[in-house]
Amino acid sequence: MRLLFIGPPGAGKGTQAKSVAERLGIAHISTGDMFRSLDPDTELGRKVNRIMQAGDYVPDEVVVEMLEGRLSQPDAARGFILDGFPRTLGQAEALDRLLGEGGLDRVVLLEVPEDELVRRMLARGRLDDTEAAIRNRLATYRRETEPLIDFYRKRSIVIEVDGLGEIEEVTGRVLEAIGVTERG
């Protein structure tokens, strides 16, 4: 199964993508995790850190090259959940070139109201979770990433999942939405 998890920052994408990928035995591919694990003493590491802390997006060429390398690793052949990629139309088009247009089975859209997003991000206290960065991340998401939902809706592969509630409860909703029964 090839899935994409999409949603605003703070919606719980990372947590849900990790847990669903484990449950399905497929790769969890998070560009945010990949960027956070870059060596901060390299030029690329420093550049990416600055961008992340401001709440901006890393340039498409950088993200696409990294993602392409990751998708070519053997574990991705069994299926994967993309978490946080693509985030721009340019990245979505690049993904189409890599996988072909029918390359994604489902796009899971995690929905959470904005005031709850801000509350969650302030509570998790990540280095890039300052209030100014949070506001900028939300605005960047609305401007750059939200249009992707329509892009994939045209292919009828988007499923909406309510992201409010306990983590396990949301995981159950996601599994149900993608057609995986709790027992099977």
Interface with ligand AMP includes 8 (CB under 6 A)?
no
Q: Are strands 106-111 and 2-6 parallel, antiparallel or unpaired?
A: parallel
- Classify strands 158-162 and 106-111 as parallel, antiparallel or unpaired: parallel
Nearer to ligand AMP, 56 or 93 (CB): 56
Q: Can residue 35 be called a binding residue for ligand AMP (CB under 6 A)?
A: yes
Distance CA 54, CA 135 (A): 10
CB 92 within 8 A of CB 150: no
Q: How far is the CB of 184 from ligand AMP (least distance, A)?
A: 29
| Residue 52 engages ligand AMP in binding (rule: CB under 6 A) | yes
Q: Taking Cα atoms as reference points, which of 91, 182, 95, 180 lies closest to residue 144?
A: 91
Q: Which stretch binds ligand AMP (CB under 6 A): 21-29, 30-38, 92-100, 154-162?
A: 30-38
63 binds ligand AMP, rule: CB under 6 A? yes
Contact segment (CB under 6 A) with ligand AMP among 28-36, 103-111, 115-123, 147-155 equals: 28-36
Q: Does residue number 5 form part of the binding site for ligand AMP (CB under 6 A)?
A: no
Q: Is 84 in the site for ligand AMP (CB under 6 A)?
A: yes
Dihedral (C-alpha) 3, 7, 10, 67: value to the nearest 10 degrees?
50
- Residue 144 C-beta: closest distance to ligand AMP, Å: 8
| Least distance (Å) between residue 43 CB and ligand AMP | 17
Q: Which long-range contacts (CB under 8 A, 24 or more apart) does 168-172 make?
A: 170/12, 170/16, 170/110, 171/16, 171/19, 171/20, 171/23
Q: Residue 44 in 3-state DSSP?
A: helix
Write down the least CB distance from residue 54 to ligand AMP, Å. 8
Judge residue 157's burial from the number of C-beta atoms within 10 Å of its C-beta, 0-12 exposed, 13-18 middle, 19 or more buried. Answer: middle
Query: Minimum CB separation from ligand AMP for residue 103, in Å?
Result: 16
Question: What does the binding site for ligand AMP look like in residue numbers (CB under 6 A)?
Answer: 9, 14, 31-32, 35, 51-52, 55-58, 63, 84-85, 87, 91, 137
